[in-house]
Structure 1
């Protein structure tokens, strides 16, 4: 029933329902069994977006510890994930942590205007 699994995931995704975290590994496994790279890429994108949404939600709720945990567990952190975490630090007055993350980000990620504007708030 691999095709049905992929179809159901697509239906859920199309309707704007946010899948539970346990769904992703199962769908990715099915994609691998079907050699369906196209759907696998979509699922991977959804995993990243879900992690970012959780990270932003925790930061806005002043639960930076949980946001950091989600960030640390992410595979392949990119500019968007770094910007989200830096913004969470700055919004919660944790300027030293924001600057530290910015410094470490520079090892593998090029900052953009959002990064620079956010990090400037840590200095002001």
Structure 2
């Protein structure tokens, strides 16, 4: 199954978004939060993101979903085409779409595409 890593400057935001994604998609979907710095402050940590990737990697690929700024730069350091890919998507909506699609057994390309479709979702028509 494709794994997901939610990378945020905030430990709390990453953890809650991951919990929401697992709650909607199912607890069997490998979703990890990589939020904040090693000491729990605001920021990003390459070490935390690497640990999260290792935790969710089941051999089918890992999708990285960063929130903004340096989390994007950190995610780019870990990209491996076809194995670990970065999604340029809304943080929460992209995470939910990706988790649901991963839970249905889709491959990495399909999980990325589902996350990318979340950019077009309109709350008001």
Q: Does the TM-score normalized on the shorter chain lie above 0.5?
A: no
Structure with bigger strand share is: 2
Greater length-normalized contact order (CA 8 Å, ≥ 6 residues apart): 2
Structure with bigger helix share is: 1
Q: TM-score, normalised by structure 1?
A: 0.32
Q: TM-score, normalised by structure 2?
A: 0.32
